[in-house]
Amino acid sequence: MALMKVLVVGAGALGQVFGMWLAAGGAQVSYLVRPGRQHWAAGDGAPVYRLRRRGGAVEQRLRPHQVVTEPAAGQSAGQWDMVWLCVDSTALPGPWTAGLRAATGGATVVTIGQAPQDHAVLTRTWPAEQIVQVRPALLAYPAPLPGERREPGIAYWVPPGSALGVSGTEPRARQVIDALRAGGARARRTRRAGAGDITAARMIPTIAALENAGWSIAATRYAGAARASREALAIAAAPHGRRAPLAAPAWAVALALRVLPLLVPFDLPRYLEAHFTKVSAQTRLMLDGWIAEGAARGLPVTHLRALRAEAAA
């Protein structure tokens, strides 16, 4: 069997975890990073910690085949089998994607972004049949969090029973699933159109409300977030001809955010603040996307607008 050659764009928390799984499955994994970051895994590689509810963290080592700042460096054009876009959704419209397409040819393009605009943005550069979407089912962050006793590295936790959702055309979706499973990750095919968009519509309004409340679980306005989520779900379902799924009631979300910190093996409130503050521009991009799409379709966006206005303030 030929060695699978993978290029991971971005060496953030999720990029490192996905790269580690792919490498564990036998792929030759390289990274494309910004100039100045090419030495992040020099020496003995980068530590990645798998967190467990019971017992200490399991340290793993990510040793990339190479780390480059240009997509064609060290590789003949068109020789990549798979390209993983592990970057913020706000970066996808940049002109760099044209150079990446030229260097990677017909490689399977994997996106982990969940913003409603992502697919349309990517199809300006790649054919739709070349794109596979992976819905992350894990929490990952640069360790240590404030107050956490851990050596610097990437920490991640996979909730029990969860699996990465993979959607796209055959055989590319199957290629991605097989590569992930070979490295020990749980992954399954998602055939329902818009599954990633629906997941984001359920979650992001609550994240925005948390941020608007200064990341205080007690002070968050869950009722407004739930109403915004109902609007986002209707908007996310509309392009796929689906009936809008039910949004979780405000009391259920509030209860979950009070109980979950007792169940996860790290400080969940600190994680939410650290991670989603870093990608706050992406959160606003997603809200803007739903508002624009909803307004164009004549769907209600009142509560989404209110949430977005509070974020801007």
Per-10-residue mean pLDDT of the chain, 313 residues long, equals: 91 98 97 94 94 92 94 67 96 93 94 90 96 95 92 96 95 97 96 83 97 96 97 94 91 96 94 94 96 97 97 86
Query: Tokens 């809200």 correspond to what residue?
Result: 287
Claim to verify: residue 159 and residue 211 sit in the same structural domain: no
CB atoms within 10 A of CB 149: 6
Spatial distance between the Cα atoms of 190 and 268, rounded to a whole number of angstroms: 28
CA dihedral 150, 279, 112, 252 (to 10 degrees): 80
Claim to verify: residue 279 and residue 153 sit in the same structural domain: no
Claim to verify: residue 143 and residue 100 sit in the same structural domain: yes
Query: Tokens 């407004």 correspond to what residue?
Result: 224
Provide the number of structural domains found in the chain.
Answer: 2
Claim to verify: residue 200 and residue 224 sit in the same structural domain: yes
| Phi-psi label, residue 13: left if phi above 0, alpha if psi -120 to 50, beta otherwise | alpha
Claim to verify: residue 122 and residue 236 sit in the same structural domain: no
Domain termination site, one of 148, 168, 189: 189
Spatial distance between the Cα atoms of 255 and 160, rounded to a whole number of angstroms: 20
Claim to verify: residue 212 and residue 299 sit in the same structural domain: yes
Residues spanned by the domain of 287: 195-312
Q: What is the pLDDT of residue 73?
A: 59
Q: What is the pLDDT of residue 79?
A: 84
Query: Distances from the Cα of 192 to the Cαs of 53, 165, 196, 201, in angstroms?
Result: 32, 10, 9, 15
Query: Distances from the Cα of 244 to the Cαs of 33, 52, 247, in angstroms?
Result: 38, 35, 9
Q: What is the pLDDT of residue 2?
A: 79
Dihedral pair phi/psi, residue 231, rounded to 5° = -65, -45
Q: What is the CATH number of the domain that holds 96?
A: 3.40.50.720
Task: Please state the pTM of the whole predicted model.
Answer: 0.94
Domain termination site, one of 189, 204, 223: 189
Claim to verify: residue 295 and residue 172 sit in the same structural domain: no
Claim to verify: residue 173 and residue 212 sit in the same structural domain: no
